[in-house]
């Protein structure tokens, strides 16, 4: 487990909470969107396509920030800051299915845009919390 994540906040990453991923657009403005994610103990993984703005943003600037709000106490949160460190092709949409099941859809199927799907891997470099 990463030493930068306080132990008492690790459940926010382990549980299927929705998180808000911030990236930087080519015009240097910020884009923030809710995302499914999976924490593997060292990095955070997302599913996305190569056709959307967030992917283009990360190709321009790999910096990213993820905020997870505790659903029980919204004043309790974890922000993880890092960078895009790997893009893994996922043309069958397998990781999308994994995330769909993690977030409660036992019958999740690959999406129609599977041929354009990738797994985005985020490093964990620092955190902030309350």
Rounded Cα–Cα distance for residues 68 and 66 (Å): 7
Rounded Cα–Cα distance for residues 81 and 67 (Å): 9
Instruction: Kindly state the tokens that stand for 89.
Output: 């092709």
Residue 3: what pLDDT?
Answer: 58
Q: Is the dihedral of CA 24, 1, 92, 102 positive or negative?
A: negative
pLDDT of 2 over the 80 cut: no
Residues 52-91 have pLDDT tens digits of 999 999 999 999 999 999 999 988 899 999 999 999 999 9
Q: Which residues pair with 44 in a beta bridge?
A: 39, 122
Q: In the chain, what percentage of residues exceed pLDDT 70?
A: 98
Is 13 within 8 Å of 82 (Cβ atoms)? no
Give the model's confidence band at 1: pLDDT under 50 very low, under 70 low, under 90 confident, else very high: very low
- Phi then psi for 70, rounded to 5 degrees? -65, 120
- Give the pTM: 0.93
Domain boundaries, the chain: 7-129
Please give the CATH topology (third level) of the domain spanning 7-129.
Pnp Oxidase; Chain A (2.30.110)
Is 65 within 8 Å of 21 (Cβ atoms)? yes
Residue 4: what pLDDT?
Answer: 81
Residue 8: what pLDDT?
Answer: 87
End-to-end CA distance of the chain: 20
């Amino acid at each position: 487990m990463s030493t930068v994540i306080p132990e008492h906040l690790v459940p926010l990453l382990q549980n299927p909470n929705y998180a808000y991923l911030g990236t930087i657009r080519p015009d240097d403005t910020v884009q923030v969107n809710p995302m499914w994610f999976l924490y593997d103990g060292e990095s955070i993984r997302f599913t996305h396509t190569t056709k959307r703005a967030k992917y283009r943003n990360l190709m321009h600037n790999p910096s990213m920030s993820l905020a997870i709000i505790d659903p029980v106490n919204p004043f309790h949160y974890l922000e993880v800051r890092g960078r895009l460190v790997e893009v893994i092709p996922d043309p069958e949409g397998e990781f999308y299915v994994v995330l769909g099941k993690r977030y409660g859809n036992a019958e999740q199927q690959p999406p129609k845009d599977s041929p354009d799907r990738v797994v985005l891997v985020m490093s964990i470099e620092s955190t902030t919390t309350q």
